[in-house]
Copies of this chain bind each other. A is one copy, B any other.
Amino acid sequence: MSLQHILLGLLREPAAGYDLKAVFDERISHFWSAEFGQIYPTLNRLEERGLLESRVEPSEKGPNRRVYSLTADGREELLRWLGSGPAMGAERFAYLAQLYFMDALGDLHETRAFMTALKQRLREWLGRLEAIEAAVTTSHGGATEYYSDGGFHQFATLRMGILSIGSKVEWCDETLAAIDRRIALPAGVEATAECRSGRGAPSAPDGSGSGTHVGSPRGEVAS
């Protein structure tokens, strides 16, 4: 149900479906995405339900646009949703699903390559978010300031993206370090204490090929 409400929120300023796609891609991709094929039918349904109204306008650069705007009912529904408490849908991470089953590959070097690639992707993503953050913050006495006039809420969502993805990059490091320790174990050794390093462990360079495959993991002992 969230996309419907997100569209209501975005349509506090009237816009056509085409514009909304750009907003998804440029501004809110760190917490939601949507394709045309989903945006247009959803706008139709919201209009049928009386939460939106539309008018057709000529376009500068292409075919006619259907511009949607919020009705009174639509605004009311938006406020109801905002006041209904945090919506806690389950999170989904396809790459964790892959990792979860990766013992099937029987070679920790595969896992290591996977984690290295994942860390790289996450860092790129983090870099994009941090660039946006830099664009909307000013430096002051060496400390970043919480964006302090309009846009507070928007900025807070950006911060969550940055902290959350940052923690995943740290997790990649932690996991890569654990993989390296396991790879280094002589065959047959098991259950040796492998202390996790605390936050910010420096170890584990990212190159994809250190160490040799010696012991292989066995057994199915899920969490």
Contact = CB atoms under 8 A, between A and B. Distances in A.
Contact of A145 (B117, B194, B220): B194
Contacts of A94: 2, 87-89
A30 B218 contact: no
Contacts of A171: 159-160, 163-164
A54 interface: no
Contacts of A152: 103, 108, 178, 182, 217
Interface in A87-128: 87-105, 108, 110-111, 114, 117-118, 121
A13 B108 CA distance: 22
Residue among A108, A118, A160 with max Cβ neighbours from chain B (10 Å): A160
A140 B27 contact: no
Contacts of A195: 140-141, 143-146
Closest 7 pairs (CB-CB, A-B): A150-B219, A167-B167, A151-B221, A9-B101, A87-B94, A31-B96, A86-B95
Interface of A: 2, 5-6, 9, 12-13, 27-33, 78-79, 81-83, 85-105, 108, 110-111, 114, 117-118, 121, 132-133, 136, 140-141, 143-160, 163-164, 166-168, 170-171, 174-175, 178, 181-182, 190-196, 217-223
